[in-house]
Structure 1
Amino acid sequence: MRPRVKKIIIGVLDVVLGAYLVLAVTSFNKPKVVDRYCSKVEITIADSTDAGFLSAPEIKSLLQAKNLYPLGKKMSTINPRSLEEAMAPRGGSGLPFVKTAECYKTDDGHVCIIITQRTPLIRVKSARGDDYYLDDQGGTMPNSKYTSDLIVVTGAVSNSFARYYITPMARAIMGNDFWKNQIEQINITNDLGVELVPRVGNHIIYIGQLPWGKYKSQIDRNVAAYVNKKLDRMLKFYKYGLSKVGWNKYSYIDVELDNQIVCTLRHEVRKEDTAESEAPEADKAQPRSTGHHDSDSLARHDI
């Protein structure tokens, strides 16, 4: 063998041997994955800017209560699936505002938890004392200490009526840029008529009873079509009626009938009559909603 070739071979072997020794020393000093302990837990609330019903400390407290919080535990004993199931609301053991929970481990000893929240669509405060949220799928969520600027539903609202009828109505309202900002309250009368309380304008909008259906998909379609039709007519009345006579001229606006809007003229109270006609404190506390209009001062508009 030529001396030059021999030197090249020896040089290559030296490089390979050196690389092997470096890897061997590194592997020896680096802890095995099975022996490593969790050094950090990263909890991310994916949509916290849109819905503030969950916080990282709440997730931590839930896992600690179930002895599942991974910090300080061996990575080999941490089961991401168990953590996900503990946070999900299935079976009532998780957090009701959790929509999805994803958990995974990293090679450097970290456990990452990513949470998405259920989106509250509307708040229900029924006459019988119920107070809860509905999500966009009709699921119920308990009242929370966190506040949210949602439309409030009051009156004769049963749980099933809220889930099957209020939900598609709320979706129709929230899908309209104008009405989702204009409506602040929905009141259900004893005969299940629907009254809408706007933010702008001192009046009540009555749209009638929501159409019934046998199946959920049928109810969703019928209610959405009905509500959109009534709101479209009311928007035209805003543009071509109230814009001319004033937004506070009528106290009650009934759009239940097709091709006609029935309005109750507002009763003007004279200043000298105020002291005599002032309502007792108990009456003042009643909701703004008045049920069907009972005044004899009506105006009818063809729309």
Structure 2
Amino acid sequence: MRINWKKILIITLDSALAIYLMFAFTAFNKPDEKTKLCTKVNINIQDEATNGFIDTHEIKNRLRKGNIYPLKMPLDDVNSRKIEETLKSSPFVKTAECYKTQDGQVCITLTQRMPVVRIKSDRGDDYYLDDNDCIMPNSHYTSDLIIATGHITKWFATNYISPLSKTLMENDLWKNQIEQINVMPDLGIELVPRVGNHIVYIGQLPYCKYKKLKNKIVSDFVNKKMNRLEKFYKYGLSQAGWNKYSYINLEFDNQIICKKVFKEKKDDKSIESALAVSDNIGGIPVKSQEVSKTGNLSPEKGNKPEANKTTSSKKELSGNTANKKVNNKTRI
């Protein structure tokens, strides 16, 4: 058999040419990262408008302090892994992703930790709790969160204030209406609303040593109390007036105890008479107690002794609540 060397030579040259062209096109199309500079840095912070704890300016400053801000750096020197690790070290960053593009851009995408409540305890502690019940440090950014004040330890905050706050934040009505939680020395819970010149007392939160079960028990307890308060708002305060009562006690399931706002007469400075001893608003028994000149609830027959613990006025709130409310939109 005669070998056609001419044909084999042509096939070999065609194959070599094809391989050469393939490598040539690949080499020309591949960017030279050693000489190509980063022309733009894209920083995308998800939920920036909602949380407001970090912004683009802070991200740039953090990277500049570590000398790893990629703008005008050779792409070959841009360490994406180091940028991610540096940003994740921030207590406000949940996830961070960094990658380079062929046109010389570096893209950084961040997600933030979601705060649900700010803690300002009478011990001087000032921090946030996120949606995973973890502590976040104080920040100089503004926030529009519920503030919890009073007798709060970090253990009580992560185990009880956190599920209480999340339950309130999940409801659109209470998310906008409740602006402050106050924990009394006996761990009773007071709520300060935005609308209405009164304080709502819901009693002590139920105890449970199992975390998952505890969250459900606390949530069910709070929802039950707030459902009763919603009915009282709808059928009671909407008719009687939002400033008629200074204190609303929801501790007991069979009744609501209210302290009426009293005005002193100019002639003898006597106290105006209280509301009828027993009313029925929306199917909920409502009792109103007489108030002495000092503002304390006078004892009534049949009242439980525990009701005396609900006699604090707004000026007696623990922590920074001397004027009923902590301004939650001040810079912190």
Q: TM-score, normalised by structure 1?
A: 0.77
- Equivalent pair of 1:80/1:104 in contact (CA under 8 Å): yes
- Name the amino acid aligned to 1:162: A
- Alpha-carbon distance change, 273 to 179 in structure 1, aligned in 2, over 3 angstroms: farther
User: What letter corresponds to residue 204 of structure 2 in structure 1?
Assistant: Q
Residue 154 (structure 2) aligns with = 159
- Deviations, residues 46-66 of structure 1 (Å, cap 9, x unaligned): 222222211112111111212
Quote the residue 1:100 is aligned against. Answer: 95
d(CA) in 2 for partners of 1:270 and 1:150? 40
The 1-side partners of 2:297 and 2:92 are apart by 45
Alpha-carbon distance change, 26 to 129 in structure 1, aligned in 2, over 3 angstroms = same
TM alignment of 1:201-212, pairs within 5 A: 201-212=196-207
Structure 2 match to 1:36 = 36
SS at match of 1:178: helix
CA, structure 1 residues 69+298, in 2 after alignment: closer, same or farther (shift >3 Å)? farther
| 1:63-142 equivalence runs, <5 A | 63-88=63-88, 94-142=89-137
Q: 1:298 to 1:173 in 2, by over 3 A?
A: farther
Distance 1:85 1:30, change over 3 A: closer
Residue 196 of structure 1 deviates from its aligned partner by 0.5
**Partners in 1 of 2:76 and 2:251 — Cα distance?**
64
Percent of matched pairs sharing the same residue? 53
After TM superposition, list the pairs within 5 Å mapping 1:168-183 onto structure 2.
168-183=163-178
Instruction: Looking at secondary structure, tell me which structure has more helix per residue.
Output: 1
Aligned to 1:58: 58
1:242-281 correspondence runs (5 A): 242-271=237-266
1:47 aligned residue: 47
Cα distance in structure 1, aligned partners of 2:187 and 2:30:
69
Hey, what's the Cα distance between the residues in 2 that align with 1:115 and 1:72? 22
Secondary structure of the 1:296 match is coil
Assess, with a 3 A threshold, how the Cα gap between structure 1 residues 41 and 295 changes in structure 2: closer, same or farther. same
User: Contact 1:262 / 1:298 at 8 angstroms: preserved in 2?
Assistant: no
What residue ranges of structure 1 are gaps of 5+ in the alignment? 1-12, 89-93, 275-292
Instruction: Return the offset for 1:35.
Output: 4.1
- Conserved 8 A contact 1:99-1:117: yes
- Distance in 2, matches of 1:210 and 1:45, equals 37
Whether the 8 Å CA contact 2:33–2:74 is kept in 1: the answer is no
1:279 is matched with which residue? none
User: Aligned-pair RMSD on alpha carbons?
Assistant: 2.8
Amino acid aligned to 1:147: T
Distance 2:206 2:129 in 1: 20
Aligned mates of 2:94, 2:265 — CA distance in 1: 55
Return the offset for 1:24: 5.0
Pairing partner for 2:218 from 213, 218, 223? 223
One-letter identity of the residue aligned with 1:170: S
Shift of 1:240: 1.9
Q: Describe the superposition over 1:128-165 as per-residue Cα deviations: whole angstroms up to 9, x where unpaired.
A: 11111211111222222211121111111111111111
Q: What letter is aligned with 1:215?
A: Y
| Equivalent residues of 1:80, 1:103 under 8 A apart | yes
**1:98–1:268 Cα change, 3 Å:** same
For residues 114 and 163 of structure 2, the distance between their equivalents in structure 1, rounded to whole angstroms, comes to: 15
Partner amino acid, structure 2, of 1:221: K
For the residues of structure 2 that align with 1:299 and 1:142, how far apart are their CA atoms? Answer: 48
The TM-score, its normalising length taken from structure 2, stands at 0.71
Amino acid at match of 1:182: Q
Q: CA deviation at 1:299?
A: 12
Structure 2: which 5+ residue stretches go unaligned? Answer: 1-13, 270-294, 303-332
Is the 8 Å Cα contact of residues 264 and 299 (structure 1) preserved in structure 2?
no
Contact 2:53/2:139 (<8 A) preserved: yes
